[in-house]
Amino acid sequence: MSLRKQTPSDFLKQIIGQPVVVKLNSGVDYRGVLACLDGYMNIALEHTEEYVNGQLKNKYGDAFIRGNNVLYISTQKRRMWTPGAALFTLGCT
């Protein structure tokens, strides 16, 4: 049996369209659906919520996060939106 090691790039490609937590160097968390990201780790999120010290501070439709501010990206176990929530695709290349 051969197990292929997964690179960070492979992981990020697999989680596009899924709920994620993006933790910034400042300690602020953004939670939303990963729309796309580029080679510089610039991130586009849909249905975004901003958390400061664990408290919800703002809700945004779409958010763009510059890659040099990102500490980590993590998947979320729980579902954030109702099944009927409409998602659209941001034009990312």
- Distance, in Å, from the CA atom of 53 to the CA atom of 84, rounded to the nearest integer, reads 30
Instruction: With cut-offs at 50, 70 and 90, classify the pLDDT of residue 29.
Output: very high
Q: Is residue 36 part of a domain?
A: yes
* pTM, full prediction: 0.76
Quick check: is 46 in a domain?
yes
**The domain spanning residue 44 has which CATH number?**
2.30.30.100
Sorted by sequence, the CB contacts under 8 Å of residue 92 that are 6+ apart come out as 35, 36, 37, 38, 44
Tell me if 84 is assigned to some domain. no
- 48 in a structural domain: yes
> pLDDT tens digits for 37-79?
998 989 999 999 999 999 999 999 999 999 999 999 999 865 5
pLDDT of res. 25: 97
> Residue 18 sits in which domain range?
12-75
Question: Residue 88: CB partners within 8 Å, gap ≥ 6?
Answer: 46
Mean pLDDT across the chain, nearest whole number?
84
Residues of the chain by 3-state class (helix, strand, coil), percent to 5: 10, 45, 45
In a domain, 3, yes or no: no
Asked, for residue 17, whether it belongs to a domain, the answer is: yes
